[in-house]
Amino acid sequence: MPVSNIKDPLNIMVKIKTLEEVFTKANSLVDGAIGLSALVAVAVLIYSAYLMITSAGDPEKYSSGTKGVVGAIIGLIIVAAAKMIVNFVFKTV
Protein backbone atom coordinates (compact mmCIF):
# COMPACT_ATOMS: atom_id res chain seq x y z
CA MET A 1 0.00 0.00 0.00
CA PRO A 2 1.74 3.20 -1.10
CA VAL A 3 1.91 6.06 1.34
CA SER A 4 2.69 8.66 -1.31
CA ASN A 5 -0.65 10.39 -0.79
CA ILE A 6 0.34 11.37 2.77
CA LYS A 7 1.41 15.01 3.00
CA ASP A 8 4.93 15.42 4.33
CA PRO A 9 5.81 19.10 4.85
CA LEU A 10 9.23 18.31 6.33
CA ASN A 11 10.23 15.87 3.55
CA ILE A 12 10.94 13.13 6.08
CA MET A 13 9.38 10.29 4.11
CA VAL A 14 11.00 10.97 0.74
CA LYS A 15 12.71 7.56 0.59
CA ILE A 16 9.85 5.58 2.12
CA LYS A 17 7.58 4.03 -0.50
CA THR A 18 5.48 1.41 1.30
CA LEU A 19 3.84 0.93 4.67
CA GLU A 20 6.17 -2.00 5.32
CA GLU A 21 9.14 0.36 5.04
CA VAL A 22 7.47 2.66 7.57
CA PHE A 23 7.20 -0.23 10.04
CA THR A 24 10.80 -1.24 9.35
CA LYS A 25 12.08 2.29 10.00
CA ALA A 26 9.94 2.62 13.14
CA ASN A 27 11.13 -0.76 14.42
CA SER A 28 14.78 0.19 13.96
CA LEU A 29 14.18 3.52 15.68
CA VAL A 30 12.48 1.82 18.63
CA ASP A 31 15.23 -0.80 18.80
CA GLY A 32 17.83 1.96 19.04
CA ALA A 33 15.92 3.74 21.80
CA ILE A 34 15.48 0.50 23.72
CA GLY A 35 19.18 -0.31 23.36
CA LEU A 36 20.13 3.13 24.64
CA SER A 37 17.73 2.74 27.58
CA ALA A 38 19.26 -0.62 28.46
CA LEU A 39 22.74 0.86 28.29
CA VAL A 40 21.74 3.67 30.67
CA ALA A 41 20.11 1.18 33.06
CA VAL A 42 23.26 -0.96 33.16
CA ALA A 43 25.41 2.15 33.78
CA VAL A 44 23.13 3.16 36.67
CA LEU A 45 23.31 -0.39 38.04
CA ILE A 46 27.11 -0.37 37.97
CA TYR A 47 27.33 3.09 39.55
CA SER A 48 24.83 2.20 42.26
CA ALA A 49 26.66 -1.02 43.05
CA TYR A 50 29.87 1.01 43.29
CA LEU A 51 28.16 3.37 45.76
CA MET A 52 27.06 0.41 47.87
CA ILE A 53 30.52 -1.14 47.88
CA THR A 54 32.31 2.09 48.77
CA SER A 55 29.77 3.29 51.34
CA ALA A 56 32.04 2.11 54.19
CA GLY A 57 29.11 1.90 56.55
CA ASP A 58 27.57 5.26 55.60
CA PRO A 59 23.82 4.52 55.62
CA GLU A 60 22.97 7.39 53.25
CA LYS A 61 25.36 6.22 50.53
CA TYR A 62 24.27 2.61 50.98
CA SER A 63 20.60 3.60 50.79
CA SER A 64 21.23 5.68 47.68
CA GLY A 65 23.05 2.76 46.07
CA THR A 66 20.22 0.38 46.97
CA LYS A 67 17.61 2.68 45.46
CA GLY A 68 19.70 2.97 42.30
CA VAL A 69 20.10 -0.81 41.99
CA VAL A 70 16.36 -1.36 42.47
CA GLY A 71 15.56 1.39 39.96
CA ALA A 72 18.01 0.00 37.41
CA ILE A 73 16.61 -3.52 37.72
CA ILE A 74 13.06 -2.20 37.32
CA GLY A 75 14.26 -0.19 34.33
CA LEU A 76 15.80 -3.27 32.73
CA ILE A 77 12.56 -5.19 33.27
CA ILE A 78 10.59 -2.36 31.64
CA VAL A 79 13.04 -2.23 28.72
CA ALA A 80 12.75 -6.01 28.21
CA ALA A 81 8.95 -5.81 28.35
CA ALA A 82 8.96 -2.90 25.89
CA LYS A 83 11.14 -4.89 23.49
CA MET A 84 8.77 -7.86 23.66
CA ILE A 85 5.71 -5.64 23.12
CA VAL A 86 7.30 -3.84 20.17
CA ASN A 87 8.33 -7.11 18.55
CA PHE A 88 4.84 -8.51 19.06
CA VAL A 89 3.15 -5.43 17.59
CA PHE A 90 5.38 -5.22 14.55
CA LYS A 91 5.07 -8.93 13.82
CA THR A 92 1.26 -8.94 14.05
CA VAL A 93 0.66 -5.78 12.02
CA distance 69 to 61: 12
What global pTM score does this model have? 0.69
Q: What is the pLDDT of residues 27-45, one digit of tens each?
A: 888 888 888 988 999 999 9
Burial class (CB in 10 A: 0-12, 13-18, 19+), 8: exposed
10-residue block means of pLDDT along the chain (93 residues)?
Answer: 58 67 80 88 93 91 94 90 85 75
